[in-house]
Amino acid sequence: MGVTESPPRARRRGPDAPFADQYRAWLRGMILIRRFEEKAGEAYALGQVGGFCHLYIGQEAVAVGTLAAIRPDDYVVSAYREHGQALARGIASRAVMAELYGKATGCSHGKGGSMHLFDASLHFMGGHAIVGSQIPLGTGFAFAARYRGTDQVSLTYMGEAAANIGAFHESLNIAGLWKLPVVYVIENNGYGMGTAVKRAAAITELYQRAASYAMPGVEVDGQDVVAVKQATDDAVGRARRGEGPSLLEIRTFRYMGHSMSDAASGTYRSKEELESSRQRDPIVLLETRMRELGMLDDTGLGAIEADVAAEVADAVKFAEESPEPAPDQLWTDVYAPEAR
């Protein structure tokens, strides 16, 4: 209970180490999220994306590392800062971008938007915009898996500020009581809007709260994708073996403002603090590790960047050219279709 796990060091191996393909996939996954989000920010500034939009830049290793640890039939649910998880889960960047544009080809057919990305076929059960509301839902997916006797696991994300809401307590208590196969991931990026953790939580070591719910709580370095993957593997394995839920507090940083309407620094956090958080960039960390291991050189990195740039450009073009939802779509999907 309440163990702090230090991030594992990568073992020094040759270029043909068995991780090479994985690392490359994770690096590409993180770069895709970063470039996608940069474009989403530009599209927002141009008025192509409306409403609220919360970028994931700085947190890429959390989505990529955690989602590398689960199976396609497992369940994923998140809050409103979920572009990164949607992409890392495998929703096509075209469908995510088109959803930000509100187009009919979006992953929620233009009816969800940035905060409500869904893909039932990938068991991506949404972006939810009421803080903490996804926590009972993720617990419910785990309940359903148990009810049906499958070994599926529910991966339930939340920001650290959501750990202060009642739904967090009620869910973790029940999950601990019933030993449900759920992995709760707190993405601790230090702030809920402009409120620092220490101004919102009576204890700032949030993983320690797991002790109240009879589950392990693990603090994880969220800038190190390898550490994230490993910690999630452990928690997912536990859940899959029927040993119950876990709480991962993954420490990370939000490089941008809370949403598109606030500056990254200046009021509630200083420029210096922001600059120092950027020193451990998740993409640079993995890139460096891969170079050291001989898995990556400039050409290799250039190829990934070019590939990602093409994918994001294609996603934007697709979103721009996609049709708006037909006017009659206003009235569909309120209730289930009649005939049964």
Partner 1 sequence: MAVLTYRDALNAALREEMQRDDNVFLMGEEVAEYDGAYKVSRGLLKEFGARRVVDTPIAELGFTGIGVGAAMVGLRPVIEMMTMNFALLAIDQIVNTAAKVRYMSGGQIGCPLVIRGPGGAALQLGAQHSQAFESWYANIPGLKVVMPATPADAKGLLKSAIRDDNPVIFIEGEMLYNQKGEVPDGEHLIPLGRADIKRPGNDVTIICHSKTVAPAMNAAKSLADEGVDAEVVDLRTIRPLDQDAILASVAKTHRVVVAEEGWGFAGVGAQVVDLIQREAFDDLDSPVIRVHQADVPMPYNKHLEKAAKADAAKIVAAVHQACYRG
Ligand X SMILES: Cc1ncc(C[n+]2csc(CCOP(=O)(O)OP(=O)(O)O)c2C)c(N)n1
Which among 13, 6, 1 has a CA at the least distance from the CA of 227? 6
What is the rounded radius of gyration, in angstroms, for the C-alpha atoms of the chain? 20
135 makes contact with partner 1 (CB under 8 A) = yes
171 binds partner 1 (CB under 8 A): yes
For residue 145, the minimal CB distance to ligand X (Å) is: 25
Q: Please state the closest distance from residue 160 (CB atom) to Mg ion, in A.
A: 5
> Is residue 248 a contact point for ligand X (CB under 6 A)?
no
- Span interacting with ligand X, options 26-34, 127-135, 241-249, 311-319, rule CB under 6 A: 127-135
- Our finding on whether 127 is near ligand X (CB under 6 A) is no
Residue number, nearest CB to Mg ion: 159
User: Minimum CB separation from partner 1 for residue 255, in Å?
Assistant: 28
CB of 23 or CB of 207, closer to ligand X: 207
Selected from 189, 223, 252, 322, the binder of ligand X by CB under 6 A is 189
Q: In what order do the strands lie in the sheet with 75-78?
A: 124-127, 75-78, 154-159, 182-188, 246-251, 217-221
H helix intervals, the chain: 20-45, 60-67, 83-89, 93-100, 134-148, 166-178, 225-240, 271-277, 282-292, 298-321
Binding mask 257-276 for ligand X (x = CB under 6 A): -x------------------
SS3 127: strand
**Which of 43, 122, 31 shows the shortest CA–CA distance to 76?**
122
Residue whose pair of structure tokens reads 């739904």 in the numeric block: 167
**Residue among 19 and 56 whose Cβ is closer to ligand X:** 56
The residue among 190, 184, 154 whose CA lies nearest residue 248 is: 184
Residue 219 tokens read as: 């603090």
Q: What's the closest the beta carbon of residue 93 comes to partner 1, in angstroms?
A: 18
Residue 336 touches which of ligand X, Mg ion, partner 1, none (Cβ within 5-8 Å per kind):
partner 1
Q: Per CB under 6 A, which of residues 74..93 are in contact with ligand X?
A: 81
Closest CA to 282 of 312, 314, 250, 257: 250
Question: Which residues lie near partner 1 (CB under 8 A)?
Answer: 75, 77, 106-112, 116, 118-120, 123, 125-126, 128, 130, 133, 135-141, 143-144, 147-148, 166-167, 169-171, 173-174, 177, 332-336, 340
